[in-house]
Amino acid sequence: MSATVTVTTWYLEQTSPSDLVPARVPDEGAGVTVARAEVPSPELNRFLYASVGADNTWVDRLPWPYARWRDFLDRPGVETWVAYERGTPAGYIELDGASVPGEVEVSSFGLLPAFRGRGIGGHLLSFGVARAWDLAGRWADRPETGRVWLHTCSRDGRHARANYERRGFRVYRTETADEPAVPQPGPWPGA
Buried b (16+ CB within 10 A) or exposed e, 155-191: bbbeebbebbeebbbeeeeeeeeeeeeeeebeeeeee
For residues 55 and 42, what is the distance between their CA atoms, to the nearest angstrom?
A: 21
What is the per-residue pLDDT for 184? Answer: 59
Reply yes or no on whether the pLDDT at 190 is more than 50. no
CA–CA gap between residue 46 and residue 5 (Å, rounded): 26
Q: Are 98 and 77 a contacting pair, CB within 8 Å?
A: yes
* pLDDT, tens only, 115-170: 998 889 999 999 999 999 999 999 988 999 999 999 999 888 888 999 999 999 99
For 4-180, CATH number?
3.40.630.30
